[in-house]
Each structure stands twice: as C-alpha cells, then as structure tokens.
Structure 1
Amino acid sequence: MFTLRKTYFPYVSPFDPCPPITCKEYVTPPNLYINFQPQGLQQFHPKEALRTGTLWPFFYDPYFNHHELKLREGQSDA
C-alpha cells in the first residue's frame, strides 16, 4: 500500500534563531506507483474528468495543505 502524503522530521539545531518546524510533509504524485496503465481502469464521467483534470480517478490527486486537511477532517467528524 502506498500513501501520497509523506512526512519527515528534519534535524533541529539548538542554535536555531527561529522556532523550528519539527515535522515537514510533502506530496508524491500517484503516477509514481503504477508502472503502466492497466486496461479497464474506472473512468470519470466526461464533465467530472474536465473538472478534475484526468479521466481516471486513480490519477486524481487534489492538493490540500495540512491546514486544509485538518479543517476537512474536522468537518467530516461533525
């Protein structure tokens, strides 16, 4: 199984003049995890494909920064 959102913990120097960001994250594109496009992949409806920018849901990757993700997760719990 793969995840599109990765995190890492950079070195924090005791001499940093600013408060450090202890956990950083980055996003990898979904096409890194597929060698070739298999036949019969599920497809979006044409209007949805135009809105998302891809015909195949597997390759759809909306970008949300970590603040937006926390807001969206909070709204889904309510």
Structure 2
Amino acid sequence: MNSQPPPFTNVKSYVPFRGPCDPCPPIGRKYFSTPPSLYLGFQPPGLPQFSPADALRKGTLWKVFYDYYDNPYRKGAGKPRG
C-alpha cells in the first residue's frame, strides 16, 4: 500500500463527533482555512511580488502569502473570482 501525503491545501475539513444519544440532527462536515504563512516559516529573500495595484486589491505584496477565501458552503464554490 502506497501512503502518500495528501496534496497541499489550505482548506481542511472535519466531521464533528455525534454521540449515540445526541437528540440534535447531525451537523455535517465543517470547513476551516489555514493561512499560507503557517507552511512557510521564515520569509526567504527574493519572493515573487504582485504589482502595487494588485497588492492593494489582494492585501499582500508577496504572492505566496495571498490566500483567496472561497466560502465552501456556497453553491458552486471552488472557482476563484477576480
């Protein structure tokens, strides 16, 4: 059996525990996002940068720190806009 690590993704998910005597309906899958800086460590020199206009729109100068948020609960989610 080949156990490869999953590909990098900043969106993780889990299913909350539901006990056998829990009267509430199941919640279902929950999603959360981890920031790109979590996986980078120290910022290396010479990182690619956005243009100043793009940096203002995206909220960061460096491309590796850009984290597009896509609501996983919205129908048709998965395509970055803009």
Note the residue ranges of structure 1 that are not aligned, 5 or more in a row.
Answer: none
C-alpha distance in 2, partners of 1:66/1:17? 26
CA RMSD of aligned residues (A): 2.1
CA displacement at 1:10 relative to structure 2 = 2.1
TM-score (norm 2): 0.73
- Structure 1 runs (4+) greater than 6 angstroms displaced: none
Answer whether contact 2:10 2:36 (CA < 8 A) is retained.
yes
1:23 counterpart residue number: 29
Q: Which has the higher contact order (CA 8 A, sep 6+)?
A: 1
- Listed as ranges, the gaps of 5+ residues in structure 2 are 1-6
Identity across matched positions, percent:
53
Using the TM superposition, give the Cα deviation of residue 8 of structure 1 relative to its aligned residue in structure 2, in angstroms. 1.6
Correspondence for 1:46 among 52, 57, 65: 52
> Which is further off, 32-41 or 42-51?
32-41
Report the TM-score when normalising by structure 1. Answer: 0.76
**Would you tell me which structure has more helix in proportion to its own residues?**
1
Please state whether the residue corresponding to 1:6 is helix, strand or coil.
strand
